[in-house]
Chain A
């Protein structure tokens, strides 16, 4: 742990820096994320535009910072929602055992077999057309959170199942510990690393899922930026000539990596 401290410190500083920049983008750029400067299309980095401009002449730095705000708020929120549902369902199955466990697992399998992409498309097609881009994006991430819990629920169920038969739980039960105290004091702290791991895995997955959905019409709509919509610039972009268009991908990797560094390195084995 001692050797990890400088790295953790760096990660905290970096994430704080990113967070403040996203909250106060004017620190970096005076331009709005939506203003089209049609005489400065695809401009290279300059003092005014540190990351150049996009195909519509919009300041890429402003878009990246606003997009960071959107993605950093909504992707973890969706991941949290997904983990909560997974904890409830997986916990119920793992604790109850027997036919309840089998029924829940069968339901999870059934849910996993649903073509979630088509489900999302159907839901999007049913949404009213005149919703603001932010609401539309919130709905998208909400749906992702509500539809992505089954795999995590299986992992949680396995962890709880293993804990349920462990010696310390048996001892606690034999000592007359109440079920609620058993769950809150013994099971939840022990299953938390598993849930945290699921959470951190889900965050970048949801960010990338939003980028994928954008291509299908489910993602963020113009002019609001998100990491996902900015990653779409890489599709068809010329990285050799414009390496700065990779900035969203670099930032995504750096942020997720820093979260992993901050997050304590505990032994996940149950």
Chain B
């Protein structure tokens, strides 16, 4: 009689283990390519880094204000080029070594090593030189910039301070959790960092959770099904369809945290060297044509139909969620088919029957390329297709897998218009230099120009460089507002929507406060406590 009880006991023990009272469960859509905190690889790696590493300054995902972390304070010199950080004392790595200025200096020394090829290091580079990080004693670090940096707090939010005595990376860091177990292709378990430096107001240690189990779940439907079965406590990003389904089936669990800083837009290929026929280049280089297209798209329908209302019509590249830099004078382009038709007629286009033709008699027909596999973009393209058909314009929608798409928009320039999105992680205008400067490789409509092709692009270049060189926030805002206005007037990019941040939070997590910024749901995971369960560390 006793023999079957052995396996049964094992199974019960396993089940009990999997139902650990203070273990949070969530899923990532892919496995992190690396766990090296100094190498930025992908969003999954970024999520693990966020939970396991410490930084000098943390940007609060809700307030967007910088908060002291490993640096208790910082002071900017009068010329704006030197930042002096005072470090937190009494902080220890899990291996017992004390956190000092040596760790910070060694971290930046490693980060700036060209052999690491770190894109994070690139953000510290300027045309005038590199940043120098030096120690002044055990708990003071000085960062000397060749020119006054803008929004430097965000730069330091992305650098994990690793231990200088650790033999290899990743080594246990200064974040609230440690990597406890990793099973390739399956999951990662993060264990509570027993020597984490933060405490609750009553002196109790943080984090309150014992562990976070992160599954790798590519399929979003399965992720939602597991959430509904109670196997997952959080979903960091939901598609509009799945959000609506969850909102109907489990009201209160789906959270719309409002507009993100991301932008969905369409742009025209205006590169003179592109292999397009001359008459099509002329269309796309015509301001009237571009504005007419922009005025003919029903953004409200895009939001309502494609995003089920969980997106805002866009007025420009900057989302209203980016409060400091959004130009409040700009409103989303309204749907004006009459105005669009007039613009086209003034520019020599003629509507004959249901077909719009240019001056030379070419029927206006062009393609929109977008990445395959994105239902929202395919649907947006279909809505635009029907809207433009009313003007007599025929649109061919082509979905391409991503490498082919990138090849066309960056190298061969063999495309007509492209529908994509921009994920704005950095809310500072300088983060858009690689998009807005005419010389930039990522300048969408005409990349890598030697000299600006148009007067208005030269003006954008001048304003962007001026705002980057200025330490005066009001002057920077004025310059950047004008950039947004020029983009609106010239319409090289047709701004469509700012999607909302959609996520799901289990009833076990009453204190979660989803934010529009990544990571949306677990940005304050060290404060999480599962409802009705005994908290760890108490």
Contacts and interface: CB of A to CB of B under 8 A. Distances in A.
Contacts of A57: 305
A185 interface: no
Contacts of B415: 129
B372 A56 contact: no
Contact of A222 (B241, B245, B369, B381): B381
B305 A129 contact: no
Given A38-B304, A236-B239, A133 B396 contact: yes
Interface stretch (B3-11, B109-117, B400-408): B400-408
A88 interface: no
Interface in B436-464: none
B220 interface: yes
Given A129-B398, A130-B416, A236-B375, 11 more contacts: A38-B305, A125-B401, A129-B415, A130-B367, A216-B373, A216-B401, A217-B372, A218-B372, A221-B396, A222-B378, A223-B382
A216 B397 CA distance: 14
B301 interface: yes
B490 to A, nearest CB: 24
A221 B398 contact: yes
B411 interface: no
14 contacts: A38-B305, A55-B305, A56-B379, A124-B400, A125-B404, A125-B407, A129-B367, A129-B398, A130-B416, A216-B401, A217-B373, A217-B399, A221-B397, A236-B375
B242 A129 contact: no
Contacts of B414: 129
A241 B373 CA distance: 24
A220 to B, nearest CB: 10
A131 B396 CA distance: 7
Interface of B: 220-221, 239, 241-242, 245, 248, 301, 304-306, 365-367, 369, 371-373, 375, 378-379, 381-383, 385-386, 396-401, 404, 407, 414-416
Given A56-B379, A222-B381, A36 B386 contact: yes
Interface in A110-161: 121, 124-125, 129-133
Contacts, number: 79
Contacts of A31: none
Given A217-B400, A223-B382, A41 B372 contact: no
Contacts of A129: 367, 369, 396, 398, 414-416
A217 B305 contact: no
Interface of B is mostly: helix
A236 B220 contact: yes
A196 to B, nearest CB: 35
Nearest to B396: A130
B117 to A, nearest CB: 27
Given A55-B241, A129-B416, A235 B221 contact: yes
Contacts of B304: 38
B531 to A, nearest CB: 28
B158 to A, nearest CB: 33
Interface in A16-66: 34-36, 38, 41, 55-57
Given A38-B301, A124-B400, A130 B386 contact: no
A89 to B, nearest CB: 30
B372 A215 contact: yes
B404 A121 contact: yes
A130 B365 contact: yes
A235 B220 CA distance: 10
A118 B382 CA distance: 26
A125 B400 contact: yes
A212 to B, nearest CB: 11
A238 interface: yes
B416 A222 contact: no
For B221, B305, B381, the residue with the greatest tally of chain A CB atoms inside 10 Å of its CB is B305
